[in-house]
Amino acid sequence: MSDLISSAADLKPTTTWQETVWAYTPEESLVDHTTKARLCVATLLPFKDQKPDWDGFSKSVRWMQQCGEYYGVEMVFVLNADTGYIFDLSNELYAEVLKRFRAEFPTQKFIAGVTARGAEKDEVFKAERYWPLLDIAQSHDNGEMMIMTSRLLNILEPEARRDAYFEIAEHITHPAIAHALEPSFVPWASPYEPWLLNEIANHPKYVGGKISTLDEPHFLYWAAMCKDLNLPFAPHSGDDYGIPTAIRLGLPLLIGAGVSACPLICAARDMWLLDSVADKKFKTGSGRFDTRVYKLFEAFQSFEDLVFRLDDRMSAAPYKHSTAHVLHHLGLIDAPESHPDCKDLRGADEALRMEEAMRRPLRVAKRLGIPYFEKK
């Protein structure tokens, strides 16, 4: 272990995580029972009769706001990310989502997913492909820009990739989050290695990042490195298979599961805190944290494992269709439709599958007195 890298000065563009101490840091050493970090929910844009269901959109946002207020959890709404069909939305519909959201929720913070537009025939990376969505999103205040990866950005060598992120940053006027898209959504994606993460984390425009992968605990690596080096950068877990890890570490979540399991995750955030924490809403009276949170972890994890199950292409992208079915079961939207151009769909039996998936979390929510989660 003495030969492992522990200093940022020793990192090289080719350094792998396994060459660093952060790849071997146990989760137990990072546990935090005092920080109630924010929950960033990849807000669903529902559809009805092949058109956006704006009433359902607003209703689901207000429902999530209620959950956050009840448990004292900061809610940030991620617009036009995976559950918002960013790859299917036209620039006009993308702009309309943001405009309607800001008009109805004038003081609510949002995160706008931003990716490259019109790069399908490009042979080299062009930062200006990010400008159209950036310009639309940055016309609104109280928002953060989530710079999502794109194929030509992702395949660059580490130093060129760093330069590309910095070039994008020159056009950014709001705080930004770097999004390491997971391979379970697009096969060409790859997470950041430690040198690139350190470079992005030290750029003043990038205040945080989102990471989630199926096969390796990169969020844990990010958390260990950022804490050890005291980096001015907040790792956000985007891993819908590992929500409890972020809660145990007192770190933010940026997830689609924040929609379907919102009250459960907010409750877990509060239950994990010690009674001595001023932000804790519901104290145990023992001075300790509420150990029933472990059963809540199991309940919403089993739930989200089915929402985010892999299809026969080893992709979890159809989860937004599953999320629509869950919100329909909860009576929050009128129809479990997807964007009419979306090809990532579940089967005809998805309503039944999601009804089955909800049995355990519904039971646990009732036993623990968690409001706002009941089948209509």
% the chain with pLDDT above 90: 78
The answer as to CATH 3.20.20.70 being correct for domain 31-368 is yes
Quickly list H helices, 46-129: 54-71, 91-104
Q: What is the C-alpha separation between 128 and 114, in angstroms, rounded?
A: 12
Could you tell me if 177 and 236 are in contact, meaning their C-beta atoms sit under 8 angstroms apart?
yes
Q: Does 83 score more than 80 pLDDT?
A: no
Is the C-alpha dihedral spanning 340, 343, 344, 350 positive or negative?
positive
Q: What is the pLDDT of residue 188?
A: 83
Q: Report residue 192's pLDDT band, with 50, 70 and 90 as the boundaries.
A: very high
Q: Name the DSSP class of 368.
A: H
pLDDT at 85 over 60: no
Tell me the mean pLDDT in the region 157-176.
Answer: 98
Region 220-241 average pLDDT: 94
Cα 342 to chain center, whole Å? Answer: 20
Identify the H or E element spanning 266: helix 262-271
Given a contact cutoff of 8 angstroms between Cβ atoms, the answer to whether 75 and 111 are in contact is: no
SS3 of residue 99 by DSSP: helix
239-297 residue pLDDT tens: 877 899 999 999 999 998 889 999 999 999 999 999 999 999 999 999 999 999 999 99
The pLDDT, as a whole number, for residue 86 is: 57
pLDDT band at 185 (very low <50, low <70, confident <90, very high): low
The answer to whether residue 313 scores a pLDDT higher than 90 is: no
pLDDT digit string, tens, across residues 348-357: 999 999 999 9
In sequence order, what E strands does the chain have?
Answer: 39-42, 47-48, 51-52, 75-79, 110-114, 143-148, 176-180, 206-211, 234-237, 253-255
Q: What's the whole-number mean pLDDT along residues 310-337?
A: 89
Task: Identify the residue whose tokens are 């930004």.
Answer: 176
Give yes or no for residue 163 having a pLDDT over 60: yes
Please report the pLDDT score of residue 300 as a whole number. 93
Would you list the DSSP string of 153-183?
Answer: HHTS-HHHHHHHHHHHHTT--S-EEEEE--T
Count of C-beta atoms within a 10 Å radius of residue 347: 10
Tell me the per-residue pLDDT of 24-39, one tens digit each, with 9 for 90 and over: 999 999 999 999 999 9
Query: Is 218 a residue whose pLDDT tops 90?
Result: yes
CA distances to 128, 140, 149, 203 from 167, in Å: 9, 22, 14, 11
State percent of the chain over pLDDT 70. Answer: 96
10-65 tens-digit pLDDT? 999 999 999 999 999 999 999 999 999 999 998 999 999 999 999 999 999 999 99
Asked if pLDDT for residue 186 goes beyond 80, the answer is: no
Q: Tell me the pLDDT of the chain averaged across its residues.
A: 93
Q: What pTM value is reported for the model?
A: 0.94
Residue 84: pLDDT above 50? no
